[in-house]
Structure 1
């Protein structure tokens, strides 16, 4: 999830903390919160989708499928990672950010929360 709408004048989805040039929108890591994609936000987004779909059986199945598909991409990323974790953030469109922590506790924790909620919903359904 991007930290700023791409249509915003301050958006810059490529975070480079080492850049010390003349572009004030990103020099010295200024754009840390201005566009790079933070993984932990996805956890809250998916949990909210699940929460609001729980009481709507026709929507719940589609939501569960959407969450499973979304999390499958996260699983692939974890399997590729030598740390077996998810990074703090990515650059525009999921491109690896070299200035991001390669595995971050809150990225993993928020995804684990989604998995916990998803398991509860699936268990209650059966």
Structure 2
């Protein structure tokens, strides 16, 4: 992908339409759910400070499995 950027920075405010204001949220950083990982990371697994530690749908899947057992 020609506009891929593996670093997500929601605070970036410049003229680059592909990156500014966190536009690359779905076009760059790796999503690592369902369990045990943060919502997303920067390239090469680097910490992303704009990410949630866990997502609600990830936790709900674990709870659903435990309920079904």
TM-score of the superposed pair, with normalisation by structure 2: 0.73
Evaluate the alpha carbon distance shift between residue 25 and residue 38 of structure 1 in structure 2; reply closer, same or farther with a 3 A threshold.
Answer: same
1:93 aligns with 2:17: no
- Structure 2 gap ranges (5+): none
- Give CA deviations for 1:90-122 in whole Å, capped at 9, x if unaligned: 111111101001222234456x4xxx6xxxxxx
Structure 1 segment 19-34 matched on structure 2, within 5 A: 19-34=12-27
Aligned length: 64
The one-character-per-residue Cα deviations of 1:10-66 (angstroms, maximum 9, x if unpaired) are: 1011111110012211001110010111112xx5xxxxxxxxxxxxxxxxxxxxxxx
How far apart are the structure 2 equivalents of 1:38 and 1:107?
Answer: 12
Gaps of 5+ in 1: 1-7, 44-73, 79-85, 117-126
Distance in 2 separating the partners of 1:91 and 1:15: 6
**2:54 alignment partner in structure 1:** 103
Instruction: Report the structure number with the largest CA radius of gyration.
Output: 1
Which structure 1 residue ranges, 4+ long, deviate > 4 Å from structure 2? none
Higher helix share: 1
Structure 2 residue aligned with 1:17, among 4, 10, 33?
Answer: 10
